[in-house]
Amino acid sequence: MTILELHSFAKGKWVAPAGNLRPIHSAVTGEHIANAGSDGLDFQGMVDFAISAGGPSLREMTFHQRAKKLKALALYLQERRDQLYALSYMTGATLSDSKIDIDGGIGTLMVFASKGRREMPDGKVFLDSEVEQLSRKGSFVGQHICTPLLGVAVHINAFNFPVWGMLEKLAPSLLAGVPAIVKPATATSFLTEACVRLMDQSGIFPAGSFQLISGGSGDLLDQLGAQDIVSFTGSADTALMLRSNPNLLGRGVRFLAEQDSLNASVLGLDAGIGTPEFELFVKEAVREMTAKAGQKCTAIRRMIVPEAMLEPLAEAMVAKLEGMVIGDPSLATTRIGALASAEQKADVLAKLAILGAECTRIHGDPQSFRVDGADGDKGAFLPPVLLRCNDPDTSEMVHSIEAFGPVSTLMGYRDIDHAAALMNRGGGSLVGSVITNDPEVARAITMASAAWHGRLYFNNRHSMAESTGHGSPLPHMIHGGPGRAGGGEELGGIRGVMHYMQRTAVQGSPDILTAIGDVWVRGSAEITPPEHPFRRSFDEISIGETIHTDSREVTLADIEHFARFTGDTFYAHMDDAAACANPFFPGRVAHGYLLLSFAAGLFVEPSPGPVLANTGLNSLSFQKPVVPGDKIHARLTAKRKTRRTDEYGEIRWNVTVYNQQNEEVAEYELLTMVAYSR
Ligand code: NAP
């Protein structure tokens, strides 16, 4: 078999391994399959290349343009994912394990592509807050904005997700506009390298957007500065060592850490034998032990169940685990593949020996088990090992030692407070789950334990058909956790992008803030369009274009007609005495919706034109009641423009409705879709 020479991708070129080569072995056969080595790599040059080539090209684009590239990349990889599956077997992964890694990574790109277009502007500045009025007359205002860091992101990943681990960090980084240097864990870097080669071949992202180190990271961390960020995933020990780097500390380099975690799952007191929740708990617990051979940072390590349920649960789990085929991951019959390396297997065996002092083994003998289709002595195979801890209160190791393989421990609890206290003994976790059909149990655990977890996952008979699984980090939801789990946060939708951006408070006049954010700020100079803005196409309209309408009197007859016509005969519109008794109204008042309708009648341009549809209305507020005889008029201002499809974009308008004293009576944001050309 040819030994793969894993290249680094540095400064736009593929660089062969050199110097001290690190041999990589197949997890399944133990054969030497690849070499990695990064001696002699110009780490300073890689940082400079990212900052001088990648960063400027990425920042030249808007959030939407980068989001579109993420989608294109996802589709490109999706079409070629079979090439990645073929290599993934050698990491010990079954096809379904590979899908978690490869399809999961591609799916993460897709979600960020879609969220980037829906939740971020088609511009270069992300507005993080509403405008703050900082002065009495409104000539000095403030707003929080986010702009991309001007440096490089260094992504250091763990061995267990060679593709997802890279893509879940790259998606938010590239969407933010920050180039990345990826350093995968060496043991499975052959799969990451293959994926980066595809990404390079796609030509979708500009040069310098991503680079790859196959092998050690040398003095890379010593080259970083205050505009750079390190995002690390791996063990707590490595995280501590890396985050203590004097250069990182001295220069205030951002450091995100996703570490190991003693995740727990609790079975509610309500979930007796025969309930759907009992079955669900068994299913989820077994899946978490066996998927990826238990090498998931989110896997359930501690199962905390009512004391009376210990025996029946152990029986139910053993019944499911017993028939599971361990073996060659490329066989369709195999449920549990190999661990990623012999070192990893040795590490799990060592951790099992430590746990053995506090736990009884209920199922799975690491010294004697059957392996199908592969040599059990050469591959890094282990059976699922189910442990029981008889005294979880006095035990220490079971709450602190992570055996990163198919290992999980059952322990009993007396009441919900006890269950939450045991969960919290993990010292901070990525995810805690509770299988219960009792909302009170869910609430009690949340109050006692949420502060110790990055994610809480509740499941029961109502959600189980569609639930995504205890161990699945979703791009929409936060992945990370306090304390032991690293104190970091990734994903969580656009929250994840913010790690790669600087939040800045900007203060100034409304015109200055409008120019910076490209969104009209109240108090900015008005632009008078040459014709009604609804006759103008998307591309012709400028932010700040404003029209003031004629005025219209609101009569008692209008109010009565509207009440009869719509059926809204609420007393404030119909009964003077009752309205007067209400602290909000001086007497009968116009319906708020009548005012909106009249405002539309005042500002609308009736003929067919570029405005295609009114798609919504945001932030509606009524500030002052309108009484019969008042005269209202409206101001319509183009506030924000966002390109949506190839034919039209969205324009948001500020609409403010005034009475005859120029007092504001209503304000809202009107959403329209407008064609690019007439
Ligand atoms: P690890 O040994 O801590 O390694 C993690 C990464 O750090 C690898 O890329 C490794 O590279 C690199 N590294 C090690 N020493 C370094 C150094 N001196 N300078 C720069 N980089 C260095 O962890 P692992 O064994 O790959 O992963 C297993 C652990 O990760 C488990 O504890 C698991 O719980 C945790 N994990 C956490 C998450 C999460 O999201 N929280 C996800 C997955 C895994 P080399 O491989 O080249 O040494």
Distance CA 143, CA 425 (A): 41
Q: Is 99 left (phi over 0), alpha (psi -120 to 50) or beta?
A: alpha
**Ligand 1 atom closest to residue 36's alpha carbon, by position in its atom list:** 47
Residues 217 and 325 in one domain: no
258 has catalytic annotation: yes
Distance CA 652, CA 664 (A): 19
Please give the backbone phi and psi of residue 413, each rounded to the nearest 5 degrees, phi first: -130, 160
CB hemisphere CA count around 658 (13 angstroms): 12
pLDDT given for residue 623 in this prediction: 95
Distance CA 608, CA 611 (A): 8
**Residue 372 is assigned to a structural domain of this protein:** yes
Determine the average pLDDT of the residues in 456-469.
96
Q: Give the tokens for residue 360.
A: 């009884």
Are the beta carbons of 518 and 145 closer than 8 angstroms?
A: no
**Residue 20 is assigned to a structural domain of this protein:** no
CB hemisphere CA count around 185 (13 angstroms): 20
Q: Say how many Å lie between the CA of residue 160 and the centre of ligand 1.
A: 9
pLDDT one-digit tens code per residue, 298-349: 999 999 999 999 999 999 999 999 989 999 999 999 999 999 999 999 999 9
Name which of 624, 635, 629 is nearest 657 in CA terms.
Answer: 635
**Residue 33 is assigned to a structural domain of this protein:** no
Distance CA 5, CA 2 (A): 9
Q: Say how many Å lie between the CA of residue 260 and the centre of ligand 1.
A: 9
Distance CA 225, CA 228 (A): 6
User: HEC profile for 583-604?
Assistant: CCCCCCCCCHHHHHHHHHHHHC
Residues 109 and 221 in one domain: yes
Distance CA 168, CA 152 (A): 16
Query: Please, what's the b/e burial string for 55-86 (b: 16 or more CB within 10 A of its CB; e: otherwise)?
Result: bebbbebbbbbbbbbbbbbbbbbeeebeebbe
Determine the average pLDDT of the residues in 527-548.
96
**Residue 74 is assigned to a structural domain of this protein:** yes
> Residue of the nearest CA to atom 30 in ligand 1?
234
pLDDT given for residue 19 in this prediction: 86
Determine the average pLDDT of the residues in 96-113.
96
CATH code assigned at 222:
3.40.605.10
Number of Cβ within a 10 Å radius of residue 380: 26
Residues 613 and 572 in one domain: yes
The identity of residue 304, as a single letter, is I
Grade residue 60 by pLDDT with cuts at 50, 70 and 90: very high
Residues 218 and 283 in one domain: no
Which are the contacts of 457, defined by CB distance < 8 A and separation ≥ 6? 431, 432, 433, 434, 467, 470
Q: Say how many Å lie between the CA of residue 453 and the centre of ligand 1.
A: 21
Q: Residue 159 CA to chain centroid, in angstroms?
A: 21
pLDDT above 80 for 631: yes
pLDDT one-digit tens code per residue, 4-49: 999 999 999 999 998 889 999 999 999 999 999 999 899 999 999 9
CATH code assigned at 443:
3.40.309.10
pLDDT above 80 for 128: yes
Residues 190 and 336 in one domain: no
The identity of residue 577, as a single letter, is A
- Does an H or E element contain 615, and which? strand 611-622
Active-site choice (193, 195, 277, 297): 297
Number of Cβ within a 10 Å radius of residue 322: 10
Distance CA 442, CA 487 (A): 24
Longest Cα–Cα distance of the chain, Å, equals 93
Grade residue 598 by pLDDT with cuts at 50, 70 and 90: very high
| Partners of 254 in the β-ladder | 229
The identity of residue 101, as a single letter, is D
CATH code assigned at 653:
3.10.129.10
Name which of 296, 291, 294, 316 is nearest 366 in CA terms.
Answer: 294
pLDDT given for residue 422 in this prediction: 98
Print the domain residue range for 176.
Answer: 41-259+495-501
Which are the contacts of 20, defined by CB distance < 8 A and separation ≥ 6? 37, 39
Residues 409 and 269 in one domain: yes
Distance CA 150, CA 460 (A): 46
Query: Please, what's the b/e burial string for 494-511 (b: 16 or more CB within 10 A of its CB; e: otherwise)?
Result: bebbbbbbeeeeeebbbe
pLDDT given for residue 129 in this prediction: 86
The identity of residue 569, as a single letter, is T
Are the beta carbons of 474 and 457 closer than 8 angstroms?
A: no
First vs last C-alpha separation in the chain: 64
Determine the average pLDDT of the residues in 98-120.
97
Cα-Cα-Cα-Cα dihedral sign, residues 225, 229, 230, 236:
positive
Residues 308 and 170 in one domain: no
Residues 236 and 271 in one domain: no
Residues 358 and 439 in one domain: yes
> Residue of the nearest CA to atom 13 in ligand 1?
238
Residues 218 and 274 in one domain: no
Distance CA 545, CA 530 (A): 10
Structural domains of the chain, count: 3
Active-site choice (146, 168, 195, 258): 258
**Ligand 1 atom closest to residue 344's alpha carbon, by position in its atom list:** 25
DSSP-derived 3-state class of residue 58: helix
DSSP-derived 3-state class of residue 146: strand
pLDDT above 90 for 64: yes
- DSSP string covering 45-94: HHHHHIIIIIHHHHHHS-HHHHHHHHHHHHHHHHHTHHHHHHHHGGGT--
**Ligand 1 atom closest to residue 216's alpha carbon, by position in its atom list:** 47
Number of Cβ within a 10 Å radius of residue 434: 30
pLDDT given for residue 307 in this prediction: 96
Cα-Cα-Cα-Cα dihedral sign, residues 585, 589, 590, 595:
negative
Q: Give the tokens for residue 52.
A: 């001088």
**Residue 34 is assigned to a structural domain of this protein:** no
pLDDT one-digit tens code per residue, 503-530: 999 999 999 999 999 999 999 999 999 9
pLDDT one-digit tens code per residue, 131-176: 999 999 999 999 999 999 999 999 999 999 999 999 999 999 999 9
Residues 245 and 268 in one domain: no
* Ligand 1 site-directed mutation target among 101, 222, 235, 245, most atoms within 8 Å of CB: 235
Grade residue 112 by pLDDT with cuts at 50, 70 and 90: very high
Number of Cβ within a 10 Å radius of residue 385: 26
**Residue 6 is assigned to a structural domain of this protein:** no
CB hemisphere CA count around 64 (13 angstroms): 12
Residues 279 and 306 in one domain: yes
Could you give the dihedral angle defined by the CA atoms of residues 93, 174, 47 and 256, in that order, rounded to the nearest 10 degrees?
-70
**Residue 521 is assigned to a structural domain of this protein:** no
Q: Say how many Å lie between the CA of residue 475 and the centre of ligand 1.
A: 21
The alpha helices in 231-309, defined as continuous H runs, are 236-243, 246-250, 276-290
**Residue 483 is assigned to a structural domain of this protein:** no
> Residue of the nearest CA to atom 11 in ligand 1?
185
130 has catalytic annotation: no
Average pLDDT, the chain: 96
**Ligand 1 atom closest to residue 157's alpha carbon, by position in its atom list:** 9
Number of Cβ within a 10 Å radius of residue 613: 10
pLDDT given for residue 554 in this prediction: 98
Which are the contacts of 548, defined by CB distance < 8 A and separation ≥ 6? 633, 634, 635
Tell me which residues have their CB closer than 6 angstroms to ligand 1: 156-160, 183-187, 216-217, 233-235, 238, 242, 258-260, 297, 402, 404, 430
